[in-house]
Amino acid sequence: MLRVGIIGTGGIADAHINGYLAFPGECEIVALADVVAGKAAQKAETFELAAAAFDDPLAMIASGLVDLVSVATPPSTHAALAIAALDAGIDVLVEKPMAPSLEECDAMLAAQERSGRVLSVVAQNRFRDDLATLKDVVDSGLLGSISHVRVDSAWWRGLPYYDLWWRGTWEKEGGGCTLNHAIHHIDLLLWLLGSPTEITAMLANAQHDNAEVEDLSVAVFRYDRGLAQLTSSVVHHGQEQAIVIQGANARVSQPFSVVAERARADGFPEQGGDPEVVARIEALVADRTPLAHLGHEGQIGDLLGAIRDGRSPIAGGHDGRNAVEVVTAIYKAGFERQFVSLPISASDPYYRAGQLVANAPHFFEKKASLIEAAS
């Protein structure tokens, strides 16, 4: 029975708590920690957990009470807490983004290597049936070579969203919607297609004059002969996320649909398309076995299995780092108005912790700093 501790008891901690509670035969939540005095105890009471409450996360790590911790704190604290836990012999699940810089990500991976423990980075959308379906179709080869991918990480947040003390600043949040919202779609793009070779981007703050960070970015990725484009936003009414993958043989998208064209003798599309290609893709989808556990619960179940079986988790530390590398490239491209080649080397100034904060534009200045978000 794994003893679980959760560091950070804000809203996202609820998803972790519910995820662990779904596996009562494999783990037990025994400790909660938060730097805000009394907050951990309040969360334990809310969920009726017989768990120790700590106002110092490092004290919980040093207590010897836990075998596995979830780090659900602001991004700027992820590296220090994860490294402390790994060096104490504790397995770690860290919320997205893994860390604000590649230097910090690599320090976390080094701690994992020297400790021999498991490090997983939250990528809960890999544990959604609709997105796992896209992955199966891409991996099947039925689409043919990929021509173009359009990813819309489209969200909407009002001005009060950035009043919370750690949001809306480059130093504490690490970035805006590109890092803290689109990181999930970036992970999915990497999961589906692998890493691009080159990135360019533009950034803006279109609607939030109480935040330093961007609330909108548009990036273009080069993949071999094809291209991908990513819109990251917290200004889109309707919050309609989408992934559209265009291959040589067909298009598949989420929300799920499949379309395949077939050429006439003159090259124009034939009426009715190519029903045989569509039928093969739809048959593949129909034969899928639905995932037993979804979202955070699915990822936690995979992590528990990885610890038990001595294997790597589906979303490991290197996956988290790869997503941060893409975000770093988007920010560098946007700040410097250039094309950025991947991978980013350790000699690149943007690799280092603090470099992004030093170079980032302040679109506006933060106007409020609330300890708790308004309800």
Burial 140-168 (b: 16+ CB within 10 A, else e): eebbeebbebebbbbbebeeebbbbebbb
Neighbours of 271 (CB within 10 A): 7
What is the structure's pLDDT at 299? 98
pTM: 0.94
Q: Beta-carbon neighbour count of residue 64 at 10 Å?
A: 11
Please tell me the distance from the alpha carbon of residue 320 to that of residue 218, in angstroms, as a whole number: 21
Percent of the chain predicted with pLDDT > 70 = 99
Residue 154: pLDDT over 90: yes
Per-residue pLDDT of 357-373, as tens digits, reads 999 999 999 988 888 76
Q: How confident is the model at residue 172 (pLDDT cuts 50, 70, 90)?
A: confident
Residue ranges of domains in the chain, CATH in brackets: 2-124+294-315 (3.40.50.720), 126-290+323-359 (3.30.360.10)
Average pLDDT, rounded, for the chain: 96
The helix/strand/coil state of 227 is: strand
